[in-house]
Amino acid sequence: MNTQPRRVAAWVWLWALLLAAPAHAVGSLHRCQAHDGQAIYTDTACAALGAAPAPMSAELVNRLTFDASSSASLGMLRNNPRGAIPIRRPAASGCARNVGQLSLDLMGSFAMGDVNRIAESFHWRGLQHQQAQLVMNRLRHLARQSLVDASYWPSLASAGDGGGAMQLVFSEPQQVLELGVERYSGCYFVRF
């Protein structure tokens, strides 16, 4: 019995379900470090607590139960030297129209290791040439790292206008990077 059509239909259904999910459902548990060095575990953006994002130990990550549907529903296209590649929308389909799409675009672009696809998710408006060069250099460096999660957290001060933070969790080297999220012309972008 050929189960391939059923598998494809399940992935398409899960993909549609994820895109329809509310923005706050994209995230998971995060570790932050307060100014006094104390660890804070939260389901919101670290910046909202006046803290900086910090990596969790691999042992702790393995013990925690994350929302299995968020990683399973990404859908994997194929394996490559960097691992399975999450589904990435075609560039011709335009920009991310919600933060869920932005998160998936970042995951797929990092999995592909393509700095140009990663750059599509960045907000470039208002940057001078020299500033843009610095951003591209930083993106080239990040593109070599293994992204394991991209979670959006709305800002308490700007709820509803697209403001918030996108937490990028890298496994090697282990680090957490928090980027601002901006809405511009109906699209969502991240910015350093």
Sort 170 into a burial class: Cβ within 10 Å, 0-12 / 13-18 / 19+: middle
| pLDDT in the model for residue 10 | 44
**How many domains does the chain fold into?**
1
* Domain housing 177: 4-191
pLDDT tens-digit profile, the chain (192 residues): 555 555 544 444 444 433 433 333 334 667 888 888 888 877 778 888 888 888 876 556 555 533 333 343 344 444 444 455 555 667 777 889 999 999 999 998 998 888 999 999 999 999 999 999 999 999 999 999 999 999 998 876 555 556 789 999 998 778 999 999 999 999 999 999
| pLDDT in the model for residue 169 | 93
| pLDDT in the model for residue 53 | 87
Whole-angstrom Cα distance, residue 184 to residue 162? Answer: 9
Please tell me the total number of residues recorded for the chain in this structure. 192
